[in-house]
């Protein structure tokens, strides 16, 4: 019924208890999970999980927050993406919240990922925080719409969501949409077309209500769907069915 479109089950908080993680997924009707790369040094861990579990997919990329790590090239990303379980490029994007100063390296890294996604025709997983204008500008300049993708863990305005959708991107909501102070984000979740929406956990972070303060995991993604369903006045099953279809339409390599 549900798919977690963005998680990090290779991170230490979850990697040591994978039987429990997959058991909860099964009990909560979460059929698949996309494990997201944040640095090339840890990419082998993600591929190992994707190869070991038929319901786990992988991405390849370097997170914009990771300054002191191997800088990817277009050719390297394309080569690593040439694997049947790798369905996306990223996570990539811009983050002006955690890092300050001259961030031109971050913008160049973002351009590299977009060029790789266009070259291998796999969608992008984009992170943006306090950087929406530059994120959208670079997406347009680099013709990111040719690859498509998703704005993950979305926390921006409706105007930003609509601009990304116009470029052919999906909008993914995390457990943040369940937080008490996320009124504006719930309004975005109520307004955008369901046909352009995904759901995620970003686990082990951002556990949704009623699990705030706990280690997040893919089995909790149902609570994201339930909150979106509540604000839209539709059944959670409808949110699950449509976002699952959206996942397989976007990440066509997963079909």
Residues of the chain with pLDDT under 50: none
Q: What is the C-alpha to C-alpha distance for residues 68 and 52, in angstroms, rounded to an integer?
A: 30
What secondary structure letter does DSSP report for 87?
E
In this predicted structure, what is the pLDDT of residue 200?
A: 98
Euclidean distance between CA atoms 146 and 139, whole angstroms: 10
| Closest among 207, 145, 137 to 174, alpha carbons compared | 207
**Cα–Cα distance for residue pair 249/244, rounded to 1 Å:** 9
CB atoms within 10 A of CB 134: 17
Residue pair 2/240 in contact by the 8 Å Cβ criterion: yes
pLDDT of amino acid 70: 87
Q: What is the largest CA-CA distance in the chain?
A: 47
Question: What does the pLDDT read at residue 182?
Answer: 98
User: Is this structure's pTM higher than 0.85?
Assistant: yes
Task: Give me the sign of the Cα torsion angle 126, 132, 136, 137.
Answer: negative
- Distance, in Å, from the CA atom of 10 to the CA atom of 224, rounded to the nearest integer, reads 22
Tell me the sheet residues that pair with 149. 124, 169
CA contacts within 13 A on the Cβ side of 203 = 32
Check residue 12 and give its pLDDT: 97
Q: Tokens 């990539």 belong to which residue?
A: 92
Tens-digit pLDDT profile for residues 24-33: 999 999 999 9
Per-residue confidence (pLDDT) for residue 148, from 0 to 100? 98
DSSP per residue, 94-157: EETTT--S--HHHHHHHHHHHHHHHHHT--EEEEEES-HHHHHHHHHHTTGGGT-EEE-S--S-
């Amino acid at each position: 019924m549900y798919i977690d479109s963005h998680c990090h089950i290779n991170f230490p908080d979850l990697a040591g208890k994978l039987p429990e993680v997959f058991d909860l997924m099964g009990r909560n009707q979460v059929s698949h999970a996309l494990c997201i790369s944040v640095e090339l040094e840890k990419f082998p861990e993600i591929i190992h999980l994707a190869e070991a579990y038929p319901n786990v997919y992988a991405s390849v990329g370097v997170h914009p927050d990771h300054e002191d790590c191997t800088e990817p090239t277009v050719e390297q990303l394309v080569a690593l993406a040439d694997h049947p379980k790798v369905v996306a490029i990223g996570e990539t994007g811009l983050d002006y919240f955690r890092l300050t100063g001259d961030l031109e390296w971050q913008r160049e890294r973002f351009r590299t990922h977009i060029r790789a996604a266009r070259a291998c025709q796999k969608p992008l997983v984009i992170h943006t925080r306090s950087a929406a204008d530059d994120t959208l500008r670079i997406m347009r300049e680099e013709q990111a719409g040719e690859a498509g993708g998703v704005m993950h863990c979305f926390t921006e305005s409706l105007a930003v969501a609509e601009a990304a959708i116009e470029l052919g991107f999906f909008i993914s909501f995390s457990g943040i949409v369940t937080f008490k102070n996320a009124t504006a984000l719930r309004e975005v979740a109520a307004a955008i077309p369901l046909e352009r929406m995904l759901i995620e956990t970003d686990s082990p972070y951002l556990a949704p209500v009623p699990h705030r303060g706990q280690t997040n995991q893919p089995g909790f993604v149902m609570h994201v769907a339930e909150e979106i369903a509540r604000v839209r006045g539709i059944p959670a099953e409808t949110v699950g069915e449509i976002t699952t279809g959206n996942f397989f339409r976007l990440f066509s390599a997963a079909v």
